[in-house]
Amino acid sequence: MIKKSGIGIAALTLSLLAGVMPARADFWSDAGAKYKGVVLRGVTESTPPSNYIKDVLAPEFEKKTGIKVQIETTSWDQMYDKAIKDMEAKTGIYDMVYIEQDIIYAYLARNFLVDISKSLKDDPSLKAPEFDETHFTTFANYFKNASGDLFGIPMEAFIKVYLYRTDLFSDPKIKEAFKKETGKELAPAKTHQEYTQIADFFTKYGKDSGMELWGTTAQAHTGHPASWYEFFESIAPTYGLYNWGIDAKNNYAASVANGGQMNSDKAKAAMKYWLHLRDIAPPESAASTWTEVGTTFAAGRVAQGLVYGENAAWIASDAEKSKVVGKVGVALPPTEPDVLKEVEAGKGYLGYYDGGAFGLPVTSKNKQAALLFLQFIGEDSVQPDWAVAAPRITNTATYDDPKVVAMDKKLNGYYTMLKDQGKLFAGAPPFPFHAQVREATAPIFYKILLGEVGPDEGLDQMAAAAEAELKNLGYRK
Amino acid sequence: MRSNTVGWLMLAPTIAILGIFGIIPFIYVLYVSFHQWNPFGASPDMIYNGANNFRRLVFDAEFLTSIAFTMKFAFFAVISEVALGYLLAQLFMKEFPGRGFFRTIHTLPLIVAPIVVGSVWRLMTTPSIGIIPYLLKSWFGYDLNIGRDATAAFALTVIMDIWHWTPLVTLTLLAALLALPKEPFEQAQIDGANRRQIFWHVTLPMIRPAILATVFIRLMDALRTVDEVWMLTSGGPGAATRYVGLHIWKIVFPKTDYGYGAAISVIVLYLTLVMCWLLYVALVARRERKRTF
């Protein structure tokens, strides 16, 4: 009897306590209640990670908070066009914009973005308990200002890796043929010389065997910036040419004559190496951007190539889209002999660490609600499924999640490489004038690709054009 | 007086819309064209620089090249569309089984958005993957590579434009042909005129206004083409298909050189007006002057 009444008193006490305590069942529903009915609008590039936000995270957030999120996914060019116009004209259409790593410096220079760290400090009621800026990988540093404040929530991050076909590289017949022709064992290349040798071999092998097979990819579109980026962000660094050959500390010099490197011997050697690869790559290479390079590899048309990580993952794992699932190996890009040591010593980088973040424009009319959404997509708990669905890792803890570990095996160690050797790669140089210098020099670059001007002469002209544009923009005095 | 007021009231919405969406933006573009303004420059403010932008474009080889290519593109595209459109209109005047079906089918390209047209043509022409390079290689042994062959890329942009816009010309000319009275044709036949004479001396003069309107519309469209070509070639290879609309887009958006881009836009508008005026003088005014004499 005493026992029964004790239980009754305890139950009564608990229910009374529950009645007087503030309802704090879930942060999201409480925080979202203030902004119920708000419609957040975001614009981003149509990539697998962005589509995941649109299809999975936005509906999930809406369910938790009652805040509706509309994500517009569009082409790379259109995304910039819309976001910049909106922020420039201060129309406030978008509450979230995609910030590709290379545009962040321009956006910060123009004060387009809200300081996320400061906003959350200023209004602690908006701070989600599970959100922690320190949980991001070092890639988040690209979206911080000099004081270490965060201006974008990292949502995709990957490196441009060297992919090769494990089935071809381990085929005894091919190995024997390669040895006979070169006197070497067939193995993923570590140097440019080895890479060229393998590429030449496979292109010839494909031709002789009547196969649709070539030795290398080449992102060599003759009218699209993708080719310009492949050269300056993936090829030139492996020759020890960094930051496009522009020396920001030396009055933004680009030409050797003024202290820059854009037309240096390293740049010219890199260009000739790459032009040769373009010549022995599949015919579509002259019309290939980053997307088509991935498609070419997935179609089994090449033996090796430099491929963006976002594509590397589906090439290696998605049997619906790729013919080479289970046949893809990953390695570091080949370099000139001493460059890797230089990079390991922290004096340079090996290739492009690409990715992007979601930022909050200062022109947004729903900043508080948008801050909630940005924290939501930055939480550790949503990362593993996202990493599996759309390969990208932005939070340190994601690497150890069992689902991600399993995926890493499928990708032949791509995530391990990202974790352990990601430090050898770097984002775009911290210039606020990316598109401007690119567009000023790209017409000459395309002429080099078409053979209308020689590589040496063309790079000289590009360096001069870059300096002229930098002067016009007011950076070079 | 009263009818005038009613007339102005009726026109007011149109004038307001034209003012807001046409005249005010044009005045703003004109204003910007006299400034140096790059929001990503060291100084992002608008700085008045007189006629420097206009002076710069006179010596800008890229701009002049894009104008030359655009003229070439417009010439081939518009001439072909008018000729082909007229032939199709004549065909659709005749009775044949399935005429209604073919009339409907042939207008389908018109309802496709230019960006989609560009994407589809890109898929069809991508080397090694597209059906067009495949067929050309199988039938004629010709390697089509729009990433490397400037002439082929140019020709493909023209063909794509013809595919997309010929139906518009056909519909306009078909409407004009259907509206023609029978009597002049019967009279010409009675007078013993042959088909060629009837075409030159009866049909053509009677449908000239329709042809002229169509040519004006198509010429203006061809001079500002962007989306289809952007999707197909991105302006390449090199600058072979970097038509002036695309050139302006690249200057204004990726390069964010708003002042210079505005100056080019103003000059292109002026060139378009001059070309239309010259065409009008050549095709209509001179003939009317002859008639008065």
CATH code of the domain in which A359 resides: 3.40.190.10
Question: What is the percentage of chain B residues whose pLDDT exceeds 90?
Answer: 80
To the nearest whole angstrom, how far is the Cα of B69 from the nearest Cα of chain A? 15
**Model confidence at B147: pLDDT above 80:** yes
For residue A314, being part of any structural domain is answered with: no
Domain B60-256 in this protein, CATH class: mainly alpha
ipTM associated with this complex: 0.83
For residue A299, being part of any structural domain is answered with: no
For residue A203, being part of any structural domain is answered with: no
pLDDT in tens, A365-404: 999 999 999 999 999 999 999 998 887 899 999 999 999 9
Best of A450, A452, A475, A477 to disrupt the B interface by mutation (most B CBs within 10 Å)? A450
Report the chain A residue with the minimal C-alpha distance to residue B66. A443
Residues of A with Cβ-Cβ distance to B241 under 8 angstroms: 223
pLDDT at residue number A12: 53
Domain count of the fold of chain A: 1
Mean pLDDT of A406-411: 89
d(CA B244, CA B268): 8
pLDDT in tens, A254-269: 999 999 999 999 999 9
pLDDT at residue number A124: 93
**pLDDT averaged over every residue in chain A:** 92
pLDDT at residue number B288: 65
pLDDT at residue number A406: 92
**Model confidence at B285: pLDDT above 70:** no
Residues of A with Cβ-Cβ distance to B261 under 8 angstroms: none
Mean pLDDT of B226-244: 93
pLDDT at residue number B280: 83
**Model confidence at A362: pLDDT above 60:** yes
pLDDT at residue number A19: 46
**Model confidence at B257: pLDDT above 80:** yes
**pLDDT averaged over every residue in chain B:** 91
The residue type at B70:
T
**Model confidence at A3: pLDDT above 60:** no
**Model confidence at A2: pLDDT above 70:** no
Report the chain A residue with the minimal C-alpha distance to residue B37. A473
**Model confidence at A276: pLDDT above 50:** yes
**Model confidence at A18: pLDDT above 50:** no
pLDDT at residue number A395: 96
To the nearest whole angstrom, how far is the Cα of A103 from the nearest Cα of chain B? 11
pLDDT at residue number A4: 54
Residue B144 banded pLDDT, cuts 50, 70, 90: very high
A interface with B, Cβ–Cβ below 8 Å: 77, 80-81, 84, 88, 106, 109-110, 212, 220-225, 282-288, 292, 301, 432-433, 435-436, 438-440, 443, 446-447, 449-450, 452, 472-475
Interface contact A223-B235, CB threshold 8 A: yes
Interface residue B285 vs chain A (CB under 8 A): no
Mean pLDDT of B27-52: 93
Residue range(s) defining the domain that contains residue A117:
34-124+136-158+354-407
Residue whose C-alpha is closest to residue A38's, from A368, A374, A357: A368
Report the chain A residue with the minimal C-alpha distance to residue B253. A81
Interface contact B239-A475, CB threshold 8 A: no
pLDDT in tens, A19-74: 444 444 589 999 999 998 899 999 999 888 999 999 999 999 999 999 999 999 99
